[in-house]
C-alpha cells in the first residue's frame, strides 16, 4: 500500500489513539486536523504560513478543481502538489459532499450525480469512476470513494436506498482505483440511525482499503446527537487503519471524537470564522469586531504563541476588520489554524501521557468560558 498506519499509543481512560500515517509525501502525526484548501489554496494564507504552523496534510476538492482549472491542466503541470507548491501530504474529497450541498442543482442516478456548475451553469456528470480518475490525475496521497452524503434527518426508506447506492458506488470506486501512489478511503454513511450506521460500517469495511471515514455528520443535527452516534460507530472501524471524521467541527467536536477513537479531521470552520472576525482562543471565543476591543492593547489570546498573538493587539485587529483590510483575514486565519493544530498537538501529548480525558474536559471548559478547575 502507498499508505501505512502505525498505532503508537492508546489512552487508558478513553478510546483516544495516537498514531502515525506514512504517505508518499511525508509523515502525518495523528490525531490530526487538516486545513481545507478546497481550490488548491487555504483561504487567506500561503503555503509558507502553513508549513510554519506545522500543517502536515491539506485537503482539496475534486468537484471544484474539476470545474476550475481542471484536472488535465493540473496534471500537465506536475500534479496538485507541484501546482500549489505543497510537498507534504494531500487528501482530496471525492465531490460526494456536493451531492448534498448542491441539492438544488443536481440529480442522483445509479450512474452518478449530474451537477449544474455554480460557476457558469454548465452541466457535469460525476461518477465513482470519474471521481477516482480525477483524484488520481491530481495526484493526491489519499483519495476518497464517491458517496452520497444524505441529510441527517430523512426518512428511513430514502436513507436505505441511498446507503445501498453508496455501497455500490464504493465497489465501483475500488475497481477504478489503480493502487498507485494514492490510498483509497471508504466512507460510512447512515445519518443518525445507529442500526443503519452499523450495517453500513460492515458493508464498507468488507472492502479492504487503507483507511475508512465517517461521513454525513454536522449536516443539521445537534452536536450531542452527532457525538453520541460517533461514539457508537467509530470503534467499529478497523483498529489498524486510520479513522477519519469528515467535515467536523468545533474544538469540542474534535476532542469528543478523538475520545471515541477518531484520528483525522477537516473543517472550514476555523478559516471561515477567522474571515468573519471570530477567533478560537484558550479563553473561549473572541469577536474582534466588537467595539469593546477598540483600545484593547492585549493580544487576542494571551495563552497563544502564534505570530498574530505575539505581534498584534486586539485594537489593531479590530481596526483592520473595521477598515476591511486584507491583512485582517490573514492574521485571524493564522491564529485560528494555529489554535486547531495546537489542539491536536496537545491531544497527541495527552494520549501519550495517558491523560486525554482530563485534556478533553479542559478544552470543553475553555470553550464554554468556564474557569479552570481548582
The verdict on 253 and 278 lying in the same domain is no
Neighbouring C-alpha atoms within 13 Å toward the C-beta of 103: 7
pLDDT (tens digit per residue) in 200-235: 999 999 999 999 999 999 998 999 999 999 999 999
Residue after which a domain boundary falls, among 231, 266, 301: 266
Span 73-117, pLDDT tens digits: 999 999 999 999 999 999 999 998 876 777 778 899 999 999 889
Let me know whether 247 and 323 are in one domain.
no
The pLDDT value recorded for residue 352 is 98
Residues 6+ apart with CB under 8 A from 268: 36, 38
pLDDT at 161 over 70: yes
Nearest-angstrom CA–CA distance, 269 and 35: 10
Count up the domains in the chain and report the number: 2
Indicate the pLDDT class of residue 180, thresholds 50, 70 and 90.
confident
**Phi–psi pair at 92, nearest 5 degrees:** -115, 130
Does residue 370 form part of some domain? no
Q: How confident is the model at residue 370 (pLDDT cuts 50, 70, 90)?
A: low
Question: Does 95 map to a domain?
Answer: yes
**Same domain flag for 34 and 170:** yes
Give the residue from 266, 301, 319 where a domain finishes. Answer: 266
Task: List residues with catalytic annotation.
Answer: 93, 266
Which CATH number is 119's domain given?
Answer: 3.20.20.105
Question: pLDDT grade, residue 374 (50/70/90)?
Answer: very low
- pLDDT for residue 169: 98
The three-state secondary structure class of 82 is: helix
Domain final position from 245, 266, 287? 266
CB 126 within 8 A of CB 66: yes
Q: Which residues constitute the domain of residue 88?
A: 4-266
Report the pLDDT value the prediction gives residue 96, as an integer from 0 to 100.
84
Amino acid at each position: 500500500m502507498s499508505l501505512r498506519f502505525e498505532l503508537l499509543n492508546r489512552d487508558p481512560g478513553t478510546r483516544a489513539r495516537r498514531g502515525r500515517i506514512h504517505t508518499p509525501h511525508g509523515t502525518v502525526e495523528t490525531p490530526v486536523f487538516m486545513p481545507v484548501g478546497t481550490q488548491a489554496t487555504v483561504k487567506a494564507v500561503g503555503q509558507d504560513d502553513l508549513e510554519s504552523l506545522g500543517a502536515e496534510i491539506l485537503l482539496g476538492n475534486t468537484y471544484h478543481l474539476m470545474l476550475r482549472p481542471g484536472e488535465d491542466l493540473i496534471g500537465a503541470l506536475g500534479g496538485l502538489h507541484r501546482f500549489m507548491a505543497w510537498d507534504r501530504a494531500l487528501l482530496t474529497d471525492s465531490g460526494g459532499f456536493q451531492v448534498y450541498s448542491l441539492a438544488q442543482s443536481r440529480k442522483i442516478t445509479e450512474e452518478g450525480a449530474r451537477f449544474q456548475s455554480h460557476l457558469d451553469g454548465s452541466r457535469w456528470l460525476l461518477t465513482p469512476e470519474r471521481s477516482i480518475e480525477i483524484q488520481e490525475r491530481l495526484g493526491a496521497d489519499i483519495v476518497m470513494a464517491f458517496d452520497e452524503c444524505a441529510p441527517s434527518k430523512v426518512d428511513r426508506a430514502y436513507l436505505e436506498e441511498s446507503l445501498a447506492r453508496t455501497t455500490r458506488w464504493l465497489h465501483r470506486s475500488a475497481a477504478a482505483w489503480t493502487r498507485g501512489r494514492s490510498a483509497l478511503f471508504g466512507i460510512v454513511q447512515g445519518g443518525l440511525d445507529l442500526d443503519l450506521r452499523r450495517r453500513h460500517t460492515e458493508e464498507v469495511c468488507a472492502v479492504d482499503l487503507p483507511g475508512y471515514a465517517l461521513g454525513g455528520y454536522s449536516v443539521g443535527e445537534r452536536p450531542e446527537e452527532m457525538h453520541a452516534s460517533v461514539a457508537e460507530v467509530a470503534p467499529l472501524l478497523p483498529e489498524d487503519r486510520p479513522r477519519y471524521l469528515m467535515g467536523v467541527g468545533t474544538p469540542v467536536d474534535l476532542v469528543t471524537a478523538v475520545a471515541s477513537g477518531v484520528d483525522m479531521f477537516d473543517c472550514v470552520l476555523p478559516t471561515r470564522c477567522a474571515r468573519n472576525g471570530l477567533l478560537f482562543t484558550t479563553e473561549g471565543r473572541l469577536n474582534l469586531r466588537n467595539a469593546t476591543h477598540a483600545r484593547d492593547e492585549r493580544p487576542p489570546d494571551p495563552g497563544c504563541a502564534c505570530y498574530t498573538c505575539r505581534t498584534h493587539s486586539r485594537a489593531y485587529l479590530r481596526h483592520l476588520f473595521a477598515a476591511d483590510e486584507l491583512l485582517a483575514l490573514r492574521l485571524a486565519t493564522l491564529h485560528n489554524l494555529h489554535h486547531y493544530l495546537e489542539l491536536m498537538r496537545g491531544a497527541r501529548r495527552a494520549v501519550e501521557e495517558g491523560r486525554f480525558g482530563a485534556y478533553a474536559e479542559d478544552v470543553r471548559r475553555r470553550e464554554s468560558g468556564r474557569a479552570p478547575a481548582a
